[in-house]
Amino acid sequence: GPVVLPPEMQKKYIDIAYSKAKRLEKLIEDLFGFTKMNYGKLAMHVSKVDIVKLLGQLLEESYPNFANKGLSYELQSNVPAKMITADGNLLARLFDNLIGNAIKYMDKPKGIIQIRIKDVGDFIQVEIEDNGKGIAAKDIVYIFDRFYRTDVSRNSSKGGSGIGLSIVAATMKAHGKDFGVANKEHGVDFYFDLDAKIKS
């Protein structure tokens, strides 16, 4: 007759199938975004977005991922709210990507991810800084390039497509004045200057 697996084995295989499906979904999303971008069709749907609220919500949604790895986050802003004209979905995707990356590569206990928002008038500075192990100097110059992965063997196990940060870069170009990444003494700092009002 058919082999009957004990419940804990069934659960294990269902969990594996689920995580593979989620990874595939992410890959397809990335590829879809990348293809649209490649043809210069990064369609902007611009509306009023509260950047402080948006980041707060994304961090709350990511809470289980922080908790699972024993990490924490801190959101600092020099304003309680800040309405900007932007594509909220694209920005959500951008920050989701960076927060997810920071969580994924943080391999120390008591890791903390700091998100700082600074309203400086006609633009908003946003920084996402972790205190992980940083990015090798040879890699950091290519970090926004398509399909570039800092450590192929390690990244494939973590399910990265190598497309995410090139989509981040395209979104930033569409929204911002300046963006980049810097190695800190401990960890990595992604920083952006977002225009408060972008032209759709």
Q: Where residue 72 falls among pLDDT bands split at 50, 70, 90?
A: very high
Overall residue count recorded for the chain in this entry: 200
User: pTM of the entire structure?
Assistant: 0.71
Residue-wise pLDDT for 145-188, tens only, equals: 655 555 543 444 444 555 667 777 777 777 777 787 888 767 88
**Spatial separation of the C-alpha atoms in residues 191 and 127, rounded to whole Å:** 4
**Residue 28, H or E segment:** helix 7-38
**Spatial separation of the C-alpha atoms in residues 135 and 126, rounded to whole Å:** 20
Residue-wise pLDDT for 182-197, tens only, equals: 887 678 888 888 887 7
The residue type at 182: A
> What whole-number percentage of the chain has pLDDT above 70?
78
